[in-house]
Chains A and B, each alone.
Chain A
Amino acid sequence: MPPFPLLRLPQLVLCKVFRSLNIEEKIKLSICSKKISFQINNDRMYSQKVIVSLDMINKQIRVHSENDEDTFKVFIDLDIRKRNYSKQQFSIACRTVKVMSTRKKFKMYWKNYQEGFLSSIRHLLKMFQCKVSTSFICHGSDIFQPTISTLFDLQVEFETLCIHFKRSKDENLLWNQISNNLGLVENLTISSVPDIDFTPVFTSWPQQISIMNSAWFTRESLLTCPCTTITLWNSNLENKDLDEIFRKWRAGELPNLKYLKIHNLSFTDNGEHILGMNLRDLNGMVIQTDDGSKKATIELRFLWMIEMNVTPFE
């Protein structure tokens, strides 16, 4: 059978062919030529929804569907001439790079890891018009901060962004750069070493936020937070703070809130009333906003975790 003239097919047919391919096949095909890459990029609006997850420690990018059924790993390595694998050169994000593409593995060889990650991410984002995700595992890598910083410059959207503060000046610089661009982030998770003297200041907010050591996140911070989901671990908030938060929510504050979880080992049932009740009696209680538009169910997980689920009235 002679080679198939794929690019001579009508555009609509070509798009349908691309839609029949899985993530792995699409990525492998995309580097065959610039023309094919261009055609695949043209079809990205109709592409399956994928997420590009960065794993900078293991030097890999996992491209996967939302349900994780379709997944493919791209490995980033350094281009060291001594290695004598069967590699071919391809053009990726306007750079010529050696690639080892076997049926099971896809490895790209770059001059340095940062260039490798950034160029590969750019190529993948053009193909899939998707969001990027990071995990805490990335923080052990030197290239995490410069890469994330560049992605924010490029206005890339994040499905999940994990930031870890461990008393480094670079982290503060990164935070100062991204804190006014958090609208690009769907889920932000912040962790920090205990007793850190740096308090992040928010000039913009993600859609959902989760803070691991949240002692620095005060009642005032919470009441100004427009996120739909707020999760605070190891919080310093007390009964009187909860009382004010619930009262203000009833009065119409925190209008976007759908779910609130606060974990605090020092919540006490010491007679300090919340909404005129003992802490223990709050479990299962339903409160509603003064205007009657929303209700919320409060649940207690033991005495150190309180959850609030908001639902609109039908």
Chain B
Amino acid sequence: MTSPASSSEVKYLIESSEGNTFDVSGAALRQSNTFNAMFLNIGADGPIPFTDYNEATLKKVFEYCEHSVNEENYSGPKHQDDLSKWDLNFFNEMDQKMFIDVINASNFLDIERLTSYCCERIARMLRGKNTQEMIKVITLPTAEELEAKQKVEEKKAAAAKKVAEKAAETAEKTETLEELPVQQLVQTTRNKLTRKYLSFSNE
């Protein structure tokens, strides 16, 4: 599915790590700054590959985005007590593994509102506890686990690079736009993604 995304009716195809595809509205996708940087103005030629995340995780993330389409513009993190019933249900029905996957995907897609709510939820696990209780709440990783985390980050950086290349390739193929603006868009997209790639690498 391709389309220059300017209206909320436009649907985009998303590809998950299993190779499955499903569609998401342009309005929901626009909550992702990563998407905005890559595809918003130039459209996508074929499914958008977010292949570092499984279908269940991506669907969960975009369920949140679809829900918050009509909410007012995001204005900083809310306190957990201010979350709506729907928000609370959304978080409560996830197990820990899904919650972590959603944080990771939300962070990669740069969905500010969802990431902030997730972070506030984690902070709440530590709130009102003494040091010993905090140690019980969190797992302290071993050296091997930290090494594995680094490898995952490197893999994600490579995936981000791949997506960036695809976006740039798509931009080059786009014929509906004037030649000069497309080149500018490609350059802007490359610059943004290079910055994102570098930030991943630095982590």
Query: Which A residues fall within an 8 A CB radius of B?
Result: 1-13, 16-17, 19-21, 25, 28-29, 31-33, 35-36, 88, 90, 99, 101-103
Contact = CB atoms under 8 A, between A and B. Distances in A.
A103 B129 CA distance: 6
A13 B118 contact: yes
Interface of B: 77, 96, 100, 103-104, 107, 115-116, 118-120, 122-123, 125-132, 134-141, 145-146, 149, 153, 199, 202-203
A32 B203 contact: no
14 contacts: A3-B137, A4-B122, A4-B139, A7-B149, A12-B199, A16-B119, A20-B77, A21-B127, A28-B131, A28-B134, A31-B131, A35-B141, A103-B128, A103-B129
A16 to B, nearest CB: 4
A10 B137 CA distance: 18
Contacts of A88: 131-132
A6 B131 contact: no
B127 to A, nearest CB: 6
B195 to A, nearest CB: 13
A32 B123 contact: no
Chain B binding surface, main DSSP class:
helix
Contacts of B127: 21, 25
B149 A8 contact: yes
A8 B141 contact: yes
Given A28-B131, A31-B131, A4 B141 contact: no
A102 B77 CA distance: 29
Nearest to B106: A13
Contacts, number: 99
Nearest to A36: B140
Contact of B134 (A1, A7, A10, A32): A32
Given A28-B129, A28-B130, A88-B132, A4 B138 contact: yes
A36 B146 CA distance: 12
A3 B125 CA distance: 10
B23 to A, nearest CB: 27
Contacts of B107: 10, 12-13
Contacts of A7: 138-141, 146, 149
Nearest to A27: B131
A6 B139 contact: yes
Q: 9 closest A-B pairs (Cβ-Cβ)?
A: A20-B123, A101-B131, A3-B139, A16-B119, A11-B203, A101-B130, A6-B138, A5-B139, A17-B119
B77 A8 contact: no
B14 to A, nearest CB: 20
B115 A5 contact: no
B44 to A, nearest CB: 25
B96 A1 contact: yes
A31 B135 CA distance: 10
Given A3-B136, A103-B130, 5 more contacts: A2-B96, A7-B146, A8-B139, A20-B120, A99-B131
A29 B136 contact: no
